[in-house]
Structure formats: C-alpha cells, structure tokens
Amino acid sequence: MPDRRISLAIPCLLTYLAFGLRLHLLDGQSLWFDEGFALQLASKTLPQIVGQNPVGWLPLHSVALHFWLQLVGQSPFMARFFSLFFGVLVVAMLYLLGKELASPATGVIASLLGCFSPFLVYYSQEARVYALWLFLSLLSAYLLLRALRSPERLRWWLAYGVATTLAIYSHYFSVFLVPWGVIALVREAVRTRRWRMLLWGAGAQLLALLLCLPLIGFAEASVVDRYGFWRSRLSPFQVVADLWYNLTTGGSLPWDQALPAMAILALLAIVGLVRFSPRWNGVLVALYFAIPLLGMLAMSMWRELYVARYLAGAVPAVYLLAARGLEELFTVATASRRLLRAWGSVAILCSVAVMGFSWTQALGNYFYSPLYARDDFRSAALFVSAHEGENDAIVISGGGIFTAFLPYYDGNLPWVDLPPFGEWLVEEQVVESLNSLLAGREGGRVWLVLSGNEITDPQNLIVAHLWTMGHVVQAEAFPGRTGVRVLLFSPRHESASFTFGPFSYQPWRGNFDNQVELLGFDMDGTRFEPGSDIHLALQWQVLTSFREDYHTFVHVLNGGRRVVAGHDKVPLNDYFRPTAWPVGEPLRDEYLLSLPSDLPNGTYELEVGWYSYPDLERLPLVEAGDGEHDRVLLPPVIVGR
C-alpha cells in the first residue's frame, strides 16, 4: 500500500503543478477574436447557439460553456477557467495512457512533459474548444484500450462510444479517432482470437456515428463555404515543420531559437518509437499522430485547411513517444557498462537542458512578452474610449473581431463590423455601410480597428475608401500574435462629413495568357516629386482558374527602360493567392511605388505584368501590340518639383 501511494503521489503532484501553471495570469491577456466569439455565442439561448454556430465550429463547447457561465457568471476569467479545468485533466490523461501503453514511468514523464508544454499551456488558457477536445480524444483512446483489455465488460464499450461521440461533437477532426480505433480493434481481435470484441467495438463506433448524424448539416455548411480561413496551399513539408514547431514551442519562440528543442523532441520520439514495449503499442501511439496528419494533408488537396491547432488532438502522441524515449535513456544511464551509463547520462542532461531552456523561454514569452501574447483588444478598446469624440463612429474590420473588442469598450459610439463574420466583403457593402454609419454626423471622425483584415478584406477596400475621403490623424498599434491597429480618420475638410461612393477606374485592358485580364487602374495623380510615393490600384478579373500562384510586378522605368522603382508581390496578399480567386469577379489590387529622393525630373513609364515564381517566366499578352508581348504600359507619370 505505501508503494502504491508513492506511485500515485507523483502524478497527483504534477496535476497540482499543472493547475498552478495554467492558473497563472489566466486573465492577464485580452480575449482574442475566437475567444470573444465563443463567449458571445455561449451567452445566447441554446436554439440560438445551434442556429448561429459559425462555419467550421461544432456546438458541444458552446453548449457546455453556456451552462458553465450560467453558473459562474459571464466573465473572460471564468470562460478560460472552463478550459483550464480540462487542460489539467489532459495532463492526468497523459499519465493514464502512458501507464496503460507502456509503464508507470512513461506515464509520469508524459505527464511531466504535458504539464510544462507551452502548446498545452496556451490552449489550457484559451476560452475555446481545444482543451475540451484534447481531453475527450484522450479519454476515447483510453477507454478503448480498457475495453480491449476487458472486452467482456460492456460498460467500457459503452463509455468508449459516448466519449468518441462527445469528441466528434467538439471538433471535426475527432473523426480520425474512428479509423485509429478500427486498427486497434482489429489487431487485438486477431492477436487474441476473441472475435466477439469486433462485434462490441463495431457496435460502439456505430453508436458514435449514429449519434453524430445531426452534425451532417454543420459539415455540409463547412464544405460549401466559399471562403475558408487559409487561401493558399502549403506543402506537406511546410505543414509538418510548422506543426512540429508549434507543438514544441507553442509558437512562442523565434524559429531559429526553436530548432534545438524541435530536434531533441524529434530524436526522443524516434527513440521512444523504436524502443517502445510492447512494440505494437508504440505503433499505435505513432498512428494516433500520423492518421490525423495524413488526413489533414489529404483534405488539403481539396482546399487548404491546415492550422496547427486543428491538429491539437494528435499532439499528445508525440509527448507519449518522447516520454518513452526518455525512459529508455534512463535505463541506459543505469546500465552496468560504464560507457553506456556515460552515454545515457549525457543524453539525458542534453535533452533536459535543451528542452528545459527552450520551454522556459517559450513560457516566459507567452506570459510576459506582448509580442507573443494574444491580440490586445482590451488596450485598443480602452484607447478608443479615452480619446473618442461626440460625433465619431467606429468601424471594426476583421470578420467578427467586435466580439473581442466590445467586452472592453465602455464608450457609446455607433459601430459597424465589416465584413460580418463568414462573409465575403464587396465594395457595394463597404460604401453602403460607411454612409449609413456616418449619416448626419457632421465633422465626425472614424475610428478604424483592424486585426486580421488581410484575410477578411484582401482588397483593402475599407482602408482605401477611408484613405481616399479622409486622412489619418492618429495611429496606434497594439502588439500580439496577429496585432491590433487603431487608425483615426478625419474628413479632408474640417466642416465636411464623409461621403463614400464606388471607386472609379480608368479603363485599360490587357489579357494575360487568357487567364487574367486587366480591366483598369486608379492612381493618386500623374505628377510626383522625387522621394514621394505613387499609390496605384489595378482592377483584375480572372478569366479561368489559375494554374499556379503567379506573381505580379509594377515597375517605374526611365528613358533607358531601367527600373527605378517597383513593387513585385503576390497579388492581393498571401492569404488570397491567385489560385483562390473567383472567376469573373473584379478584384482591386493595390501597389505602393516609392520613388528615390534623387530621381531626376522627367517622364517615366509604368509597366505591369505577371510572372511565374521562382522561374520568373512572364505570362504572355494575348493580342499584344508591337514590342509589348508580356507587359502592359500604363500612361506615363511626370516626376518634377
């Protein structure tokens, strides 16, 4: 009995330690967009939660958070405490799974890694689904292992089916628990020749899938969603590298500083996989990580879906393998042969030193560095409240970020959210919304709150309209992983009000390889001084789906056709690359051309074109004029004081 108490004391101590670490500065950072939306959704009635469930989300977390907040109050701290509770249970589940699959020592080390993992700490302090999802996924896996060990006990199978159902109701990628469970079930049935467990296991999985039939409507909405979060596809190498970086550091270290810890964690996981005992259990843990990853890569061939947190459910498998690797190093360090002991001791010291140093840095950055914190909507809202005027108005651009801004805003100004969450922003909507917001507010100013607007407004329509009709009189940036910016626009004439209309473009045609056509351009003048900037907007229209993500160029050329200024880029931006552009829809694409301060006076040409990257082969013009086979020349500009 004393030995049993001692063996349980360490996991309990780690659980208490995990609780304290996750409680530290729980409300120290502002809510960011996802958390704000989750808190707002959970405050609604149950029918509203289901009816307003956004694309890509599933309702379990919102419903559970709804009942929790009804008990404890609608505060950001308590919303995050809900996640903290399940984040601590994840640490406990790592111990149980490590003990079940390998040994109590593996369980303790896995729990230790989970306790201090920057990735798990981060999501244990976020008022979103991920801590709950991690717990339910691990619970499903643990209950399946217990059911396989005691197949005659139906309560284990029933519990496994219920846990799998709840996991799927929390996140779409929980569906990967099903093929993982099938593999574990079939292998165990073949090994033991206890074929009845196939019946019970299939029944439990069928129960889970049947109970999840109501989710079909949510899944259909996500499938037909025209505009997903990520616009551009990542290579499999980019996905694996980014995922490994995040599960190692929680995204709270510069890439170059994270490389040693990433390498050590990979080596420990490989050692753990090779030396796992029983061997099949190591394969099972590896599959727990590999199946969701491969599934993500396969689905991304249809549409880019990768975000590191979407694979959070697979992350504990890496810690389990690394824990088994560390246990193996401890075994080597206590071997009878002196050389082996020395090698094992050095390997342990290096692993602990590198991982400990990196994780201490990462956690320190997460807790105390504004650059690695969540976006600071709280400071942005307090700044606007402190400096607002009576006739001002607020435009919030980021696709629903008002849910993170308004909980901290204590002013009384009217506001508009552009675009509404999940919608594609069009110019007519911008003009109508801005005019409606500012009607009758003579001389009023516009506060523009931006975060993630590169995704929700890739054409930069809101900033472009405000910039055209007004000028920036105040600008503040609030740090964070994405960052929040606040710009204050005043009308160009003090007594005037803002009045907006559609942009007008000077027609100017150019067909590039029958893939995309230039419709026209808009420029802020024809005469510029040396050292000034040319603001140019081009209007493109896709004729057929792009074959690849081409780049564009706009060059200022002198009389000798030498480039004196230019702007080469991915048109629109990296989140909305050409292969994702809708066919037939005119799109605004902005360029900034900075003229050198010593540029001689004279007349300069503007050339526009497309090219493949990285081979730099230009797209040809269809029906090009003499000598202009791969570029369009815009009207020249004059440089002179």
Identify the weakest region by mean pLDDT among 236-250, 470-484, 490-504: 490-504
In tens, the pLDDT along 408-427 reads 999 999 999 998 766 778 89
Identify the weakest region by mean pLDDT among 230-244, 377-391, 458-472, 549-563: 230-244
pLDDT > 90: percent of the chain: 80
Residue 450 token pair: 């931006």
Residue carrying the six token digits 């080597």: 332
pLDDT > 70: percent of the chain: 96
**CB neighbour list of residue 101: distance below 8 Å, 6 or more residues apart:** 145, 276, 281, 284, 285, 320
Mean pLDDT of 351-362: 97
Mean pLDDT (the chain, rounded) = 92
Q: Give the per-residue pLDDT at 18.
A: 98
**CB neighbour list of residue 122: distance below 8 Å, 6 or more residues apart:** 250, 251, 252, 366
The answer to whether residue 65 scores a pLDDT higher than 80 is yes
Confidence class for position 224, pLDDT limits 50, 70, 90: low
Q: Give the per-residue pLDDT at 627.
A: 60
The answer to whether residue 399 scores a pLDDT higher than 60 is yes
Confidence class for position 246, pLDDT limits 50, 70, 90: very high
The answer to whether residue 610 scores a pLDDT higher than 50 is yes
Quote the Cα angle for 21-26-32, to 5°: 130
Which is nearest to 638 in space by CA: 563, 518, 534, 536? 534
Helix 338-368 / helix 236-249 crossing angle, nearest 10 deg: 90
The answer to whether residue 258 scores a pLDDT higher than 90 is yes
Cis peptide bond N-terminal to 414, omega within 30: no
Q: Give the per-residue pLDDT at 2.
A: 46
Q: Give the per-residue pLDDT at 229.
A: 46
In tens, the pLDDT along 33-50 reads 999 999 999 999 999 999
Q: Give the per-residue pLDDT at 594.
A: 97
Q: Give the per-residue pLDDT at 7.
A: 66
3-state class (DSSP) for residue 494: coil
Residue 319 token pair: 């810690």
DSSP for 181-202, written as a single string? HHHHHHHHHHHHT-THHHHHHH
Beta strands in 436-479 (DSSP E): 446-450, 470-478
The answer to whether residue 164 scores a pLDDT higher than 50 is yes
Backbone angles phi, psi at 334, to 5 degrees: -110, 15
Beta strands in 142-234 (DSSP E): none
Q: Give the per-residue pLDDT at 337.
A: 84
Residue 517 token pair: 């056509």
Confidence class for position 544, pLDDT limits 50, 70, 90: very high
In tens, the pLDDT along 101-137 reads 999 999 999 999 999 999 999 999 999 999 999 999 9
Q: Give the per-residue pLDDT at 92.
A: 97
The answer to whether residue 6 scores a pLDDT higher than 70 is no
Regarding predicted confidence, which is higher, 192 or 442? 192
Query: What residues form DSSP beta bridges with 488?
Result: 447, 474
Q: Give the per-residue pLDDT at 232.
A: 57
Identify the weakest region by mean pLDDT among 174-183, 568-577, 606-615: 568-577
- Work out whether strand 470-478 and strand 484-491 pair parallel, antiparallel, or are unpaired: antiparallel
- Output the pTM of the full model: 0.90
Residues 17 and 184 sit within 8 Å (Cβ to Cβ): no
In tens, the pLDDT along 476-489 reads 999 999 899 999 99
Q: Give the per-residue pLDDT at 148.
A: 96
Q: Give the per-residue pLDDT at 626.
A: 57
Which run of H or E residues covers position 313? none
Q: Give the per-residue pLDDT at 28.
A: 95
Mean pLDDT of 321-349: 92
**CB neighbour list of residue 303: distance below 8 Å, 6 or more residues apart:** 228
Residues 404 and 30 sit within 8 Å (Cβ to Cβ): yes
Q: Give the per-residue pLDDT at 4.
A: 56
Q: Give the per-residue pLDDT at 1.
A: 42
Mean pLDDT of 311-339: 93
Residues 94 and 114 sit within 8 Å (Cβ to Cβ): yes
Q: Give the per-residue pLDDT at 447.
A: 98
Reported for 66-73, long-range contacts at CB under 8 A and 24+ positions apart, including other chains, are: 66/42, 68/42, 69/39, 69/42, 69/43
Mean pLDDT of 181-206: 94
Q: Give the per-residue pLDDT at 230.
A: 46
Mean pLDDT of 151-163: 95
CA-CA distance, 140 to 165, in Å (whole number)?
9
Mean pLDDT of 139-156: 95
